[in-house]
Amino acid sequence: MTSAAEPGVTERSDVRTIVGGGVKLGVVTAGGVTVFALLSRMLAGPSEILLQSVLVFVGVGVFAYLPTSWVRPRGIDGIAWTALVGLLGALVFTVVDTALLRPVNLYHWTWDQIGGGSGFWYIPIWWMGSAVLAWLGGWAWSRGGGGSAVARAGQTAVVGAVLFAIIVLTGILPFHAGTAALAGTLGLVAMVPLVGVLRGA
């Protein structure tokens, strides 16, 4: 793959950036999940879904582009390092989740119940999904020529919100935070070719 990232941008693939980024991303994720869970307890109905959906779009942007802002990928290797930061972030969150969030019963463990009391059937999927989000973010940023990761996250959120509205208004899926998560991810996927088109690639 040939990157269109800015010539003056230097990739960062040192241990401190990768491991430190993973730790920071995991802590940020734990904070976001905590806020999401608390909103579930305090709110109900459309207001709960709306605020949770906003958090979901923010979460997609953070997980996709925060690793990118640290690694600043210029090519295939850099994008792979970005995905590794996403994976490490998910691993760190799993530790925080298991050690702190689960003992205080912050939210219901429906997925554990489905798995017969074990979370190991879905936790690896969470790890893979987190790596894919960071990978897509790195790809979109690199293909788009670098620039502001915050701006790219905002563009992704707009695309995701439009898809969310279309999906809900057409009745394909209900007005739910899970639908927002799907739309946000599809918006991120769409950003990869979209930024290339916008740059004339």
Q: How far is the C-alpha of 98 from the C-alpha of 156, rounded, in Å?
A: 31
**Looking at the predicted structure, is the pLDDT value of residue 119 above 70?**
no
Of 17-21, 35-39, 72-76, 181-185, where does mean pLDDT reach its minimum?
A: 35-39
In the chain, domain spans: 15-198
**Looking at the predicted structure, is the pLDDT value of residue 61 above 80?**
yes
pLDDT digits (tens, 9 = 90+) for 129-178: 999 999 999 999 988 887 888 889 999 999 999 999 999 999 999 999 88
pLDDT digits (tens, 9 = 90+) for 91-102: 999 999 889 988
Q: Say what the pTM is.
A: 0.86
pLDDT of residue 2: 47
pLDDT digits (tens, 9 = 90+) for 36-57: 888 888 888 888 889 889 999 9
Nearest to 161 by CA among 121, 106, 153, 27: 153
185 Cβ contact partners less than 8 Å away, ≥ 6 residues apart: 60, 133, 160
pLDDT band at 90 (very low <50, low <70, confident <90, very high): very high
